[in-house]
Homo-oligomer: A and B are copies of this chain.
Amino acid sequence: MTARKKVVSIEDVARAAGVSITTVSRVINKFPTVKEDNRRKVEEVIRRLNFKPNLAAQRLASGSNYTIGLEIPRYEGIFYSFYAMEVFRSVGIACDNLRVDFLLHLTDGKTSVNAAAVGGVVFADVINNRQHVEDFLKAGTPVVLMNYLAADMDVSSVSVDNAAGAKTAAEHLIHLGHNRIAFVTGDMATQAAQDRLEGYKTALKDAGLAMTEEWVLRGDYSRKSARAAAEKILGMAAARPTAILVSSDDMAMEMVSAFIEGGLKVPEDISIIGFDDDPVCLYGPVALTTVRQPIKEMAQEAVKELYLRMQDPDRQINKIILSTELIIRDSARAPKRSP
């Protein structure tokens, strides 16, 4: 509630500079058609009077709003993560660079971005808020999905090929000589978790390896679930897997700790590959081999696409899919010769 103070207006500037408000408006908006002389004069006055255009008035008059909304689920599982942090940071920086405002909305699936306050919205992951996407779409608000591919919706998106990423990682393990490979899922409410599982399955099938349901352990991205998975594996005395593909680095690190505490060596006794390329990978007992997903690029692309769409709502729909990258470090190697 900016109190009604005597704020300097465009009119004050015009008067002080000896030009019309239109000319002032032109220099504010960097129109090329202003005499260099006038421009300088106006800019000087603006600086001297510390004039700030009234945003509400600009938006009302122009009918435009360069505020970008980011709606992201706030469920604990996906929220307290390197991934979410990186999304905020990247979207924040992208907005900063484009000089647009960044309205953040953490949703529990019930409340949505304030439609009246934004010119467009990025949805990072779609979980229980698919309806919101449709609402915005129907209302004609520019929308871009991030880290979520909606094959059935007519909407631009920037996502990552999680299935391919997991497949590549699993293949890496297979090439190393593993044939007993377990998998720990993320929160299956997320599309990424589903796709990663699928990539794992594909790789095994392609290699002609048997897929044991027992070796697909349900995680939810939490360290707690990772520890539970590790304990389950430690309990498989008989034909224990020799390698594990884990759906996040955070979980992978927790499992590494649990294994070491349980008397196993990583990677000597068991290989582990994570997902995310969280910096945390680098500082544990072993540097973690992981699948990097380009969050920063994804955010940049999403914001850019949205920005363009705000300028041209009839722009063609783009479904961009970025690739992951396998980062090979020390936590996965060839299995010990079978006994």
Contact = CB atoms under 8 A, between A and B. Distances in A.
Interface of A: 1-5, 52-57, 59-60, 63-67, 74, 79-80, 82, 84-85, 88-89, 92-93, 96, 101-106, 111, 114-117, 119-120, 140-142, 222-224, 226-227, 254, 257, 260-261, 279-280, 282-285, 310-311, 313
A66 B56 CA distance: 12
B101 A117 contact: yes
Given A1-B311, A60-B54, A261-B285, A104 B88 contact: yes
Contact of A60 (B52, B60, B142, B284): B60
A287 to B, nearest CB: 12
Contact of A52 (B116, B282, B313): B116
A262 B53 CA distance: 61
Given A2-B310, A3-B140, A55-B116, 15 more contacts: A1-B119, A1-B310, A56-B60, A67-B117, A88-B104, A92-B105, A101-B117, A102-B105, A103-B103, A222-B283, A223-B280, A224-B282, A224-B283, A257-B284, A257-B285
Contacts of A117: 55, 67, 101
A68 to B, nearest CB: 10
Contacts of A59: 56
A93 B227 CA distance: 30
11 contacts: A1-B310, A54-B116, A55-B117, A80-B279, A88-B106, A92-B105, A96-B105, A96-B111, A101-B114, A257-B257, A260-B261
